[in-house]
Amino acid sequence: MALRTILISAQLWLAVRAEALCADGDSACAAHAGSLIQHHARDSKMRNGLDGMLTGDHGLEETPGGAKWTEEEALVVLSKLMSLFGKWPFEGWVRDEKGKDVRATIECFTDGPDANDTHHQTVPCTYWRNGFSDQGVVPKWPMLLRFGFHSCMKYKDGTGGCNGRLQLGGAFRRLGYAPSHRFQCTGPGKESRRRGVAPKCHPKEGAVENSPGHNANMALLADSLERLYTFKDWPPMAPSLNKSLKESGKSRADLWAFGTIASAWIGMRQNNEACQKGEALYAQWPVLPCNITMPDFTFFSGRRDSAEPVPQPQCASSCNATGRLYAPYPVCKPGGRPCSYDEVCKRPECHDCDVCKPAFDGNHMPRPYESLVPEAFPGTTFNGQQVADYFDQNFDFSKREAIAIMGAHSFGAVHVQVSAFRYDWTHMQQEQLNAVYYRIIGSMDAKHFERWGRKGAYPYPPTAIGGPNGSAPRTFFFMHQDGKDVAGGHFQYFHVYERCPYCTTDGILLEGTSLPWVGLGRKNQTVEPCALEGNKSKTVMHCIRRDPCCDLCRKATRVTYLGENPLIRDRPMYDIQGLTAEEKDIFERGRCFQNFSEHETMLVSDLALHRDIRVNELGTPLNCQSNHAFGMDSKCPRNMLADEGDKPMSAIVEEYANDQNLWAEHFKDALHRMLANGVPEGQLVENFKFKGISCSHPFLPGGAHHKYVCRRT
User: Taking 90 as the threshold, does the pLDDT of residue 416 lie above it?
Assistant: no
Q: How confident is the model at residue 484 (pLDDT cuts 50, 70, 90)?
A: low
* Amino acid occupying residue 330: P
The parent domain of residue 27 ranges over 2-175+213-251+302-377+680-712
Which of the listed residues 635, 651, 667 is the one where a domain comes to its end?
A: 651
**Domain contains 413:** no
Residue range 538-544: mean pLDDT, rounded? 46
Q: Tell me: do 514 and 367 sit in the same domain.
A: no
pLDDT score at 137: 55
**Domain contains 410:** no
pLDDT score at 709: 92
Q: Tell me: do 51 and 156 sit in the same domain.
A: yes
pLDDT score at 84: 86
Question: How do residues 307-345 score in pLDDT, each as one tens digit?
Answer: 877 655 443 333 333 333 333 333 333 333 333 444 444
Q: Tell me: do 25 and 114 sit in the same domain.
A: yes
Region label for 205, one of left (φ > 0), alpha (ψ between -120 and 50) or beta (otherwise): beta
Q: Tell me: do 608 and 645 sit in the same domain.
A: yes
Q: What is the DSSP string of 328-342?
A: PPTTSPTTPPPP-HH
Query: Can you tell me the distance from the alpha carbon of 13 to that of 19, in angstroms, rounded to the nearest whole number?
Result: 10
Question: How do residues 172-230 score in pLDDT, each as one tens digit?
Answer: 554 443 333 444 555 444 444 333 444 455 555 544 444 456 777 787 788 889 989 99
* Amino acid occupying residue 346: K
**In total, how many domains does the chain have?**
2
Q: How confident is the model at residue 240 (pLDDT cuts 50, 70, 90)?
A: very high
Q: Tell me: do 525 and 622 sit in the same domain.
A: yes
Query: Can you tell me the distance from the alpha carbon of 73 to that of 242, in angstroms, rounded to the nearest whole number?
Result: 9
Which of the listed residues 633, 651, 669 is the one where a domain comes to its end?
A: 651
User: Taking 70 as the threshold, does the pLDDT of residue 248 lie above it?
Assistant: yes
Residue range 648-663: mean pLDDT, rounded? 98
Q: Tell me: do 322 and 449 sit in the same domain.
A: no
User: Taking 80 as the threshold, does the pLDDT of residue 374 lie above it?
Assistant: yes
Which of the listed residues 651, 670, 697 is the one where a domain comes to its end?
A: 651
Q: Tell me: do 557 and 629 sit in the same domain.
A: yes
pLDDT score at 127: 32
Residue range 454-478: mean pLDDT, rounded? 80
- Whether 152 contacts 393, CB under 8 Å: no
User: Taking 50 as the threshold, does the pLDDT of residue 358 lie above it?
Assistant: no
Could you tell me which residues are beta bridge partners of residue 508?
546
Q: How confident is the model at residue 509 (pLDDT cuts 50, 70, 90)?
A: confident
User: Taking 80 as the threshold, does the pLDDT of residue 514 lie above it?
Assistant: no
Could you tell me which residues are beta bridge partners of residue 498?
595
Burial of residue 117, with CB atoms counted within 10 A of its CB: 0-12 exposed, 13-18 middle, 19 or more buried: exposed
User: Taking 90 as the threshold, does the pLDDT of residue 263 lie above it?
Assistant: yes
pLDDT score at 314: 41
Query: Can you tell me the distance from the alpha carbon of 607 to that of 496, in angstroms, rounded to the nearest whole number?
Result: 14
Which helix (H) or strand (E) segment is 143 a member of?
Answer: helix 141-151
User: Taking 80 as the threshold, does the pLDDT of residue 351 lie above it?
Assistant: no
Q: How confident is the model at residue 1 (pLDDT cuts 50, 70, 90)?
A: very low
Q: How confident is the model at residue 412 (pLDDT cuts 50, 70, 90)?
A: confident
**Domain contains 191:** no
Q: Which of 23-32, 364-373, 678-687 has the lowest mean pLDDT?
A: 23-32
- Whether 62 contacts 55, CB under 8 Å: no
Question: How do residues 428-442 score in pLDDT, each as one tens digit?
Answer: 888 899 999 999 999
Query: Can you tell me the distance from the alpha carbon of 62 to that of 49, in angstroms, rounded to the nearest whole number?
Result: 12
Q: Which of 54, 81, 97 is nearest to 241 (CA)?
A: 81
Query: Can you tell me the distance from the alpha carbon of 61 to that of 368, in angstroms, rounded to the nearest whole number?
Result: 10
Q: Tell me: do 524 and 445 sit in the same domain.
A: yes
Output the average pLDDT for the chain: 71
Q: Tell me: do 453 and 327 sit in the same domain.
A: no
Q: Tell me: do 645 and 685 sit in the same domain.
A: no
Residue range 66-70: mean pLDDT, rounded? 95
pLDDT score at 320: 36
Residue range 478-499: mean pLDDT, rounded? 79
Name the range with the highest mean pLDDT among 145-159, 468-482, 607-621. 145-159
User: Taking 50 as the threshold, does the pLDDT of residue 117 lie above it?
Assistant: no
- Whether 477 contacts 457, CB under 8 Å: no
pLDDT score at 262: 98
Residue range 643-648: mean pLDDT, rounded? 98
Question: How do residues 578-634 score in pLDDT, each as one tens digit?
Answer: 999 999 888 887 778 888 887 888 989 999 999 999 998 888 888 887 655 444 455
pLDDT score at 635: 77
pLDDT score at 333: 36
User: Taking 70 as the threshold, does the pLDDT of residue 28 lie above it?
Assistant: no
Q: Tell me: do 70 and 156 sit in the same domain.
A: yes
Q: How confident is the model at residue 280 (pLDDT cuts 50, 70, 90)?
A: very high
Q: Tell me: do 245 and 317 sit in the same domain.
A: yes
pLDDT score at 445: 92
**Domain contains 331:** yes
